[in-house]
Amino acid sequence: MLPVLRILLRRLGISAVVLVGVSMLIFAIARVIPGDPARIALGPSASAEQVTALRAEMHLDEPLVAQYGHFVSDVLRGDLGQSLYTNRPVTRDIAEFLPATLELVIFAGILMVALGLPLGILAARHRGRWPDHLIRVLTLLTVSAPSFVWAVILMLLFAFYLPLFPVAGRISDIYEIERVTGFLTVDTLLAGNFAAFADALHHLVLPAVALALSGIGQAARLTRANMVETYQKPYIEMAQAYGFFPSRIARSYAFKPSLIPSLTIIGLDFAAMLGNAFLVEAVFAWPGLSRYGVNVILRKDLNAIMGTVLIIALTFLIVNIIVDLLIAFLNPRIRHSTRAAS
């Protein structure tokens, strides 16, 4: 069997186990809620009969194991229940708000890789000299503040004092874009409306940078550390002895082995960004999962809380599988190995 395929199967197996665990964890968290979810749903004015009826409907009168069974079978059928906050199926709410969040996180992820890796390489190539020190201080600074602080600072500087970017929202009101994927940068292109595409991109810049800043710092620091380690390998010394240009050594010899450990961390940072998106969305009034998530939490909307966390965990697992496959694809020792890679 192809090694990459074997890794995919192995990862899918592990992910299935993890997903079962996540579902138990989420279920456990949801059951710690103080108070009766049925009573919370109906409000203080409902009669005792109504509450009893809803308890039966929500399976709250059954043993915990049976409740978990109902939860799992519902989830497997794609039914996350009804949101008490919006009175709509949770899946519909998530389908509405998730694309905006994913669009933001994906753009931030692109920024993280596109800026973090080159900065790390630059620092490693000038190790111990001023570019290295400068990058070290800058990257430490970017990881030293939560993304909502960066969001506020960027907004003040580049939306208010220098009005280069819009203050809030995903796109200007003048554009009416038919919703296909929910990703505005994709939908505007599908509609062939390039002005709207540019406008959506323009709205994305500040939130994406605010979200990406700490990831950029982490990616750069890690890439630098890995590159420095690679530079001490004998084969690099030999390339230097041959008199190859430093840029060629960096590009063709030192970069790829250093990239592989960085990718794992980039996967983890992507997860962190799914959480931090909550903070950035709040500052930039970005209509993503954040406002929905915070609202359902404040209202103790059980189904919606469980659904949101489950979807985020699922997204994260998928990203990690992709990262693992990418690593397998980049690493010839795994790509061509005949033994299962660990």
Q: Quick one: 97 or 197, whose CB is closer to another protein?
A: 97
Does residue number 84 form part of the binding site for another protein (CB under 8 A)? Answer: no
Q: Of 208, 224, 183, which Cα lies nearest the Cα of 109?
A: 208
Tell me the closest approach of the beta carbon of residue 90 to another protein, in angstroms.
14
Phi then psi for 291, rounded to 5 degrees? -60, -40
Binding-site member from 234, 298, 339, 342 for another protein (CB under 8 A):
298
Does residue number 46 form part of the binding site for another protein (CB under 8 A)? Answer: no
Binding-site member from 108, 279, 327, 334 for another protein (CB under 8 A):
279
What b/e sequence results for 163-195 when a residue is b if at least 16 CB atoms lie within 10 Å of its CB, and e otherwise? eebbeeebbeeeeebeeeebbbbebbeeeebee
Binding-site member from 320, 323, 328, 334 for another protein (CB under 8 A):
320
What distances in angstroms separate CA 208 from CA 104, 147, 160, 177, 336, one per listed residue? 6, 10, 17, 21, 37
Binding-site member from 56, 140, 190, 198 for another protein (CB under 8 A):
140
Report which secondary-structure segment, H or E, holds 298. Answer: helix 289-298
Does residue number 134 form part of the binding site for another protein (CB under 8 A)? Answer: no
What distances in angstroms separate CA 286 from CA 23, 104, 169, 171, 208, one per listed residue? 28, 9, 5, 10, 11
Does residue number 145 form part of the binding site for another protein (CB under 8 A)? Answer: yes
- The Cα–Cα gap between 57 and 185 comes to 41
Does residue number 278 form part of the binding site for another protein (CB under 8 A)? Answer: yes
Number of residues counted as binding another protein (CB under 8 A): 56
Does residue number 17 form part of the binding site for another protein (CB under 8 A)? Answer: yes
Site string for another protein, 187-226 (x = CB under 8 A): ----------------------------------xx--x-
Does residue number 322 form part of the binding site for another protein (CB under 8 A)? Answer: no
Q: Of 22, 104, 2, which Cα lies nearest the Cα of 318?
A: 22
Q: Quick one: 113 or 283, whose CB is closer to another protein?
A: 283
- Residue 89: strand pairing partners: 82
Q: Are the C-beta atoms of 211 and 283 separated by less than 8 Å?
A: no
Tell me the closest approach of the beta carbon of residue 237 to another protein, in angstroms.
21
Residue by residue, what is the 3-state secondary structure of 196-219?
Answer: HHHHHHHHHHHHHHHHHHHHHHHH
- Cα of first residue to Cα of last residue in the chain, in angstroms, is 16
Binding-site member from 41, 108, 263, 309 for another protein (CB under 8 A):
309
Q: Are the C-beta atoms of 124 and 231 separated by less than 8 Å?
A: yes
The DSSP symbol for 160 reads I
| Tokens encoding 252 | 């063709």
Tell me the closest approach of the beta carbon of residue 65 to another protein, in angstroms.
19
Does residue number 321 form part of the binding site for another protein (CB under 8 A)? Answer: no
Does residue number 135 form part of the binding site for another protein (CB under 8 A)? Answer: no
Does residue number 10 form part of the binding site for another protein (CB under 8 A)? Answer: no
Does residue number 177 form part of the binding site for another protein (CB under 8 A)? Answer: no
- The Cα–Cα gap between 317 and 11 comes to 9
Tell me the closest approach of the beta carbon of residue 248 to another protein, in angstroms.
26
Binding-site member from 30, 42, 54, 191 for another protein (CB under 8 A):
30
Binding-site member from 13, 69, 118, 146 for another protein (CB under 8 A):
146
Q: Which residues in this chain contact another protein in the complex, by CB under 8 A?
A: 14, 17-18, 21-22, 25-26, 29-30, 32-34, 133, 136-137, 140-141, 143-146, 148-149, 152-153, 155-156, 160-161, 221-222, 225, 268, 271-276, 278-279, 282-283, 293-294, 296-298, 300, 305, 309, 312-313, 316-317, 320
